[in-house]
Amino acid sequence: MSLPGLKASVELPDHAPHVLVVDDDRRVRELLTRFLYEQGFRVTAAANVAEARAKAQCFVFDALVLDVMMPGESGFDYARQVRETSRVPILMLTARSNPNDRVMGLEIGADDYLPKPFEPRELILRLNNIIKRRNEGASPREPGLETVTFGPFSFRIDRGELRRADETIRITEREREILTVLAQAGGANVEREALAGAGGLAAERSIDVQINRLRRKTEVDPANPLFLQTVRGVGYRLAVD
């Protein structure tokens, strides 16, 4: 990974997104910090998960860039922990080429996955995409439509909250985005492209992973879904009440 020439100083606006970079490679941390700063991001860097966890207690981040392979706790471990309480966008970095690692990251709740070595400009594009999806997915909805129900479940679109009676069902950011699109369709068919998002998450496999995860949380028999239905040749639909 190489970086182009960098400017000496950049004055960032108050609303500049704040990114946490977690990587045990000091050179990578420094390069990413400089490049992201030059591209208009505020950056906090951490060498390991313990340091990242400590910094997360002091700042609210707009996105996380996590290396997968680190001594001690891995990026997967930290992403899993973050997803227990937060919807912050997560971009995973890894030197591994095994596609199963990418699927694992998506199952944990990562928003995108970038293998090393990578072009810094591609990282910027992917980072901007996941931040944009997060911001767009937080509020859009049809006028007058805030909650949809399907079977024993209710989904509050404006809050991105899935519930079964009084129980809140934990879902990842990508699952929430997909469920929001399906809920806003009001039971109509939704094409796969509308659910795929941008960047690497547009891959067919990633959509299947997210739908299967949602089915495991909402279906009695995920292999024979009643609510999250496959529409052959088109995509999916949510069988709302």
Q: Note whether 233 and 203 are same-domain residues.
A: yes
Over residues 194-212, the pLDDT tens digits come to 777 544 444 556 788 889 9
Residue 24, in any domain of the structure: yes
**What is the DSSP secondary structure assignment for residue 183, as one 8-state letter?**
H
Task: Evaluate whether residue 185 is within a structural domain.
Answer: yes
Are 125 and 192 contained in the same domain?
no
Domain extent at residue 170: 147-238
Q: Is the pLDDT of residue 235 over 50?
A: yes
Tell me, yes or no, whether 103 lies in a domain.
Answer: yes
State whether 218 and 184 are in the same domain: yes
204: CATH: 1.10.10.10
pLDDT (tens digit per residue) in 88-121:
899 998 876 566 767 777 778 888 888 888 888 8
Specify whether 133 is located in the same domain as 162.
Answer: no
Name the percent of the chain lying above pLDDT 70: 82
Q: Is residue 11 part of a domain?
A: no
Tell me the three state secondary structure of residue 87. Answer: coil
Using 50, 70 and 90 to split pLDDT, how confident is the model at 3? Answer: very low
pLDDT in tens, 116-137: 888 888 899 889 888 887 766 5
Q: Is residue 141 scored above 60 in pLDDT? A: no
Same domain as 127, residue 182: no
Decide: 64 and 89 in contact? Cβ < 8 Å: yes
In a domain, 13, yes or no: no
DSSP code of residue 95 = S
Answer yes or no: is 10 within a domain: no
pLDDT, tens only, 164-195: 888 889 988 888 888 888 888 878 888 877 77
- Top mean-pLDDT range of 82-91, 144-153, 204-213: 82-91
Do 107 and 131 belong to one domain?
yes
Mean pLDDT for the chain overall: 81
pLDDT at 200: 41
pTM above 0.75, yes or no: no
- List of residues 6+ apart from 232 with CB closer than 8 A: none
Name the nearest CA neighbour of 228 among 220, 217, 239, 213.
Answer: 239
pLDDT confidence tier of residue 2, bands split at 50, 70 and 90: very low
Q: What percent of the chain has pLDDT over 90?
A: 21
Per the structure, the count of domains in the chain is: 2
Q: Quick check: is 178 in a domain?
A: yes
88-108: burial string, b at 16+ Cβ within 10 Å, e else: bbbbbbbeeeeeebbbbbbbb
* Paired sense of beta strands 161-164 and 167-169, if any: antiparallel
| Residue 106: C-alpha distances to residues 74, 87, 102, 118, 180 (Å) | 15, 14, 6, 19, 18
- Decide which of 137, 160, 184 is a domain's last residue: 137
* Number of residues that make up the chain: 241
The predicted structure's pLDDT at residue 120: 84
Collect all residues with Cβ–Cβ distance below 8 Å to 231 and sequence separation of at least 6.
189, 237
| Residue 229: C-alpha distances to residues 140, 187, 191 (Å) | 23, 10, 12
Within-domain flag for 218? yes
Cα torsion through 115, 116, 120, 125, rounded to 10: 0
**CATH at 100:** 3.40.50.2300
Which of 137, 171, 205 is a domain's end point? 137
Picking from 137, 155, 175, the residue at the C-terminal end of a domain is 137
